[in-house]
Structure 1
Amino acid sequence: MSDLITTQTPHLTLRVHALDNVRVALTDLPAGAVIEDQGVNITLPGFVRHKHKFALSDMAAGDVVTMYGVRVGKATQPIAAGGAITTENVVHATDELSTETRQKAWQPPEVTAFEKTTFAGYHRPDGKVGTANVWLVVPLVFCENRNIEVLRQCVADALGDDPFYDYKRMARQLLHGQDIAESAAPAGERLFPNVDGVRFLVHQQGCGGTDGDADALCELLAGYICHPNVAGATVLSLGCQKAQITMLQEAIAKRDPSGYKPVSYFEQQRSESEEVLIRDALTAIFDGLKQANQVTRQPAPLSELTLGVECGGSDGFSGLSANPVVGAAVDRLVALGGSGILSEFPELCGVEHELLARCRNPQVAERFTALMAAYQRHAHAVGADFSMNPSPGNVRDGLITDAMKSAGAAKKGGDSPVVDVLDYTEPMTRKGLNLLCTPGNDVESTTGLVGSGANLVLFTTGLGTPTGNPVAPVIKISSNSELASRMSDVIDFDAGPVIRGEASIAQLADELLTLCIETASGRYISKAARLAQLDFIPWKRGVSL
């Protein structure tokens, strides 16, 4: 990341960008500590907590607060040099968005070491390549969630593949004691070794909403069914809901016009009984697994990888370590012909200028501007605003305003040109970096990323977030080593060495891309997959930030 500088003092502080008028405390700083910044000594008038920012000079009410080289806030009262930036003295503020753009030159990173590298993926008839091979079971309406759960338990029992077996054993032992007879453990041998599992989606939509909600749900489900990580699907419908089978079929046909993807449909109101419905659905699932098992992993170029990038439970270090490392990994993949998808539009607020400058043509820039404006109108219609995006955890760990959070969050997108801008549920069709309109909600956004084609997700966190996805592997990257140690069962990759000055962003980006290749090849199983974190939440537009 060319605009990040790492001038540190013995007290461990950091000025992120040459234009900034704040520094970041990398460790707790006591009152009276003397900090040197560009030849000027600053005495801190009070305690500054690690991950938080402090002023480099006296500020008056109304003065602009700059970080990452962009406006991230406005002082609401005088702040002395060295004074901590807090919610009491700074509010969210961004530069006015201009429709004028400047083309920003991009220097691709060095990727010679990866040029001949391949990953072992599942090649589909339409030419796409998956990083996993799953069978999908999908409800068209929430009324079928109970039947989906029945199918999930039946399939897990039949395959001997219960991800919660150990927890169930724990519960029996806690209730009945150690002497209680245990049920048989899941079988060790996989009946379908080339299949990564059966994934069961549940949601609360399909009926009772608007026609637009039903359309969006069908488009999203079609994105999952047609995903390169999915071998085929079994769909359950009640029959009378707004999200009709024909709507889903039309959405699938747009993505799979040749009809390569096998999909079976079952409608409960046309079935003789629930028992018949369950039996027929189970038969379709097991037949599908036999078919899916015939596909094996084969070498594929890295250009067939699409990294969806996401952040959740961010802290004051996320924009300094984990997010820039992910962005640098995306840049490497784009330089190799692959793709990245950056989402969470509320967390791009304040850095629109930087992204517009990277759009490959005026049409892409105009689409980004239009979708950002439309999202803000939706938010305002329900009494919300992008400035409300930071969570209490974000604020506690130094992300005082949405613009401050956004400036760091956007680093996940690297520096490569923006080739396309997608609305929610739209499939990615152009290789390179894409922007996708989603909310900042972790699971809703991750759900959207995969629905638009990400076959691998990089998820950064500073506080720890147990989020996964039913279709695409999710790799968790921690912003600090304390989190990586404390939640080692959740975190896959530690970007903390950047904060300690022990590794560069470039070094860790190479390591992270290598981990992506291992995960895409099935040689590394992400922590989210091991814990069966299979989260899926469709976005009801205009309700969520």
Structure 2
Amino acid sequence: MNPSALPSPLLLLHPADDVFIARSQLVGGQTAEGLTVRGLVPAGHKVARRDLAAGRAVRRYSQVIGFTLRDIAAGEHVHVHNLGMGDFERHAVIGADVTPDRPPLQTAFMGIRRPNGQVATRNYIGVLTSVNCSATVARAIADHFSHPFHARRADGPLAAFAQVDGVVALTHGSGCAMDDQGLGLQVLRRTLAGYARHPNFAAILVVGLGCESNQIDALLAAEGLEPGPLLQTFNIQSLGGTSAAVARGVELIRALLPVANAVHREPCSAEHLIVGLQCGGSDGYSGISANPALGQAVDRLVQHGGTALLSETPEIYGAEHLLARRAISPAVGEKLAERIRWWEAHVAQHGGSMDNNPSPGNKAGGLTTILEKSLGAVAKGGTSNLVDVIEYAQPVRRSGLVFMDTPGYDPVSATGQVAGGANLICFTTGRGSAYGCAPAPSLKLATNTALWQRQADDIDLNCGDIIDGRCDIDTMGARIFQALLDTASGHKTRSETHGYGQSEFTPWPLGAVM
């Protein structure tokens, strides 16, 4: 149901729901929709729509979000004190909701065409590391060119290179003391290779120490990469230490800058856009405003031939059956089910539970169980058919809605998406996020107006207009789609203006550290 059609302080999302959502903070004795509110209910939280007996399944979005821990009276606050997880059957009829492809549409953004046919939305030079031991050298090289106090001065190192967005060092905490045949090293190499191939990098320098498990030559060979003018490498030990390595790196980047600068933007089809979908600091409004509005933008993107990457497997847990119903084939549906089984086993092996989510901040914002959070999170994927399921940092091979298996932790998840080819990130938040993801620009969407007013310095678009009744989801989806095109064309996001993106590079640390 469109919230803009409900001027009352209570939102009903589906006629079958057992709860209303508080549009604003409610106080005991307040009446609305035939209910008398019992006690204080924060904005974004749930209110029982009817009397609910203990042990009963509770529905929001017409889907089960948990089970009552005790009797709940109509008008009561429904949250962690009286609602919990429980086992129930989720029927995944693979392909049941697959729809015919919509008539294709065409539009363009101003992109940068690479010689290999890829299209970039940004134009960086990247400094990658094979191991944590070379991180300080990589940072020193990038800082020589990109320190905010001198990089763009009239006499600064980038002053003559206006088409270069910057020199960024993407370092990590791994690369050694790991099984050279194990999953952890495979995933790290796949991630680094994805960044090395990313169209938003005009050139790459890889810096190693020299004695690490993740040897540069082995990394390149395993991932089919060839050193060359735009992919240069060296080891600190071979050059004689830190000072010599930093000097060599600065020399190499200086030689690459004129090459990287020799680009221009031109009209490129939106089919070249790959948008990673993220939600972080979610709240009770995420699944009502920003996430479904982003889903509308995703449907538009897919209709224009582009690709959206839905991820964060632990945060679609409990809603995976809805995605499976949109899988274009049994093979795609089974790949999704296999990843869910992997996560259940992975978490159990470490003595955890899939319901260790929502986070404390999510719960403060009104989300009670992982089921509830997941149902809101999958809304980011719109209604398009699910065309593929891929593992972490694997390259995207198909256009449309693709699911990438990642953790729910935003920096790790987005790192995998960018490694897979995402040249934009769209990030919804209800509690507030200050996040960026070089080399892909990150566009952040607020779920509520209070956040927008409080943290507009970090947010690009306010989807709280939906909650406030000033805009419907379809109109907001059109705004988001246009913002994607504008951002892809070079318009800087809030996180870019603040310099976010280097520290957020976080490959998934799988496997044993020896």
Same fold (TM over 0.5): yes
Question: Deviation at 1:130?
Answer: 0.8
Partners of 1:247 and 1:98 in 2: CA distance: 45
Partners of 2:335 and 2:229 in 1: CA distance: 31
SS in 2 for 1:280: helix
Q: Does 1:13 align with 2:10?
A: yes
Candidates 31, 34, 40, aligned match of 1:34: 31
Partner residue in 2 for 1:236: 207
Q: Does 1:315 align with 2:283?
A: yes
Candidates 160, 163, 175, aligned match of 1:191: 160
Partners of 1:17 and 1:466 in 2: CA distance: 32
Q: TM-score, normalised by structure 1?
A: 0.89
Q: Does 1:531 align with 2:498?
A: yes
Q: Does 1:369 align with 2:348?
A: no
Candidates 216, 238, 259, aligned match of 2:187: 216
Contact 1:347 1:409 in 2 (8 A): yes
Q: Deviations over 1:52-108 (max 9, x none)?
A: 001111112210011112111111111111211121111124643456424214377
Q: Quick one: structure 1 residues 450 and 498, their matched pair in 2 at CA, closer, same or farther if it must change by over 3 Å?
A: same
Partners of 1:81 and 1:221 in 2: CA distance: 53
Q: Does 1:247 align with 2:218?
A: yes
SS in 2 for 1:96: coil
Candidates 290, 296, 299, aligned match of 1:331: 299
Partner residue in 2 for 1:175: none
Contact 2:313 2:406 in 1 (8 A): yes
Q: Does 1:202 align with 2:165?
A: no
Partners of 2:229 and 2:99 in 1: CA distance: 38
Partners of 1:304 and 1:245 in 2: CA distance: 30
Amino acid at match of 1:318: S
Q: TM-score, normalised by structure 2?
A: 0.94
Question: Deviation at 1:329?
Answer: 0.4
Aligned-residue identity in percent = 35
Contact 1:231 1:261 in 2 (8 A): no
Amino acid at match of 2:436: G
Partners of 2:271 and 2:392 in 1: CA distance: 23
SS in 2 for 1:231: strand
Question: Deviation at 1:272?
Answer: 3.2
Partner residue in 2 for 1:281: 249
Partners of 1:73 and 1:158 in 2: CA distance: 49
Partners of 2:383 and 2:511 in 1: CA distance: 29
SS in 1 for 2:58: strand
Q: Deviations over 1:138-178 (max 9, x none)?
A: 1110001111122122223699317xxxxxxxxxxxxxxxx
Contact 2:145 2:158 in 1 (8 A): no
Partner residue in 2 for 1:402: 370
Moved more, 384-393 or 324-333: 384-393
Partners of 1:273 and 1:188 in 2: CA distance: 24
Contact 2:4 2:470 in 1 (8 A): no
Superposed counterparts of 1:391-430, under 5 Å: 391-430=359-398
Partner residue in 2 for 1:154: 144
Candidates 473, 477, 484, aligned match of 1:516: 484
Partners of 1:478 and 1:458 in 2: CA distance: 11
Question: Deviation at 1:24?
Answer: 0.4
Superposed counterparts of 1:424-439, under 5 Å: 424-439=392-407
Amino acid at match of 1:73: G
Structure 1, unaligned stretches of length 5 or more?
163-183
Candidates 73, 84, 96, aligned match of 1:80: 73
Q: Deviations over 1:221-279 (max 9, x none)?
A: 101110111112000111111111133213442xx68x888211101222234333222
Q: Quick one: structure 1 residues 408 and 127, their matched pair in 2 at CA, closer, same or farther if it must change by over 3 Å?
A: same
Structure 2, unaligned stretches of length 5 or more?
none
SS in 1 for 2:184: helix
Candidates 332, 350, 374, aligned match of 1:382: 350
Partners of 1:26 and 1:251 in 2: CA distance: 53
Q: Quick one: structure 1 residues 35 and 409, their matched pair in 2 at CA, closer, same or farther if it must change by over 3 Å?
A: same
Q: Quick one: structure 1 residues 284 and 7, their matched pair in 2 at CA, closer, same or farther if it must change by over 3 Å?
A: closer
Contact 2:146 2:168 in 1 (8 A): no
Question: Deviation at 1:46?
Answer: 2.4
Partners of 2:101 and 2:464 in 1: CA distance: 25
Partner residue in 2 for 1:54: 47
Partners of 1:464 and 1:78 in 2: CA distance: 34
Partner residue in 2 for 1:541: 510
Q: Quick one: structure 1 residues 110 and 84, their matched pair in 2 at CA, closer, same or farther if it must change by over 3 Å?
A: farther
SS in 1 for 2:249: helix
Candidates 126, 129, 132, aligned match of 1:136: 126
Question: Deviation at 1:191?
Answer: 1.6
Partners of 1:110 and 1:508 in 2: CA distance: 21
Q: Quick one: structure 1 residues 542 and 251, their matched pair in 2 at CA, closer, same or farther if it must change by over 3 Å?
A: closer
SS in 2 for 1:146: helix
Partners of 1:400 and 1:128 in 2: CA distance: 43
Partners of 2:18 and 2:72 in 1: CA distance: 12
Contact 1:110 1:332 in 2 (8 A): no
SS in 2 for 1:161: coil
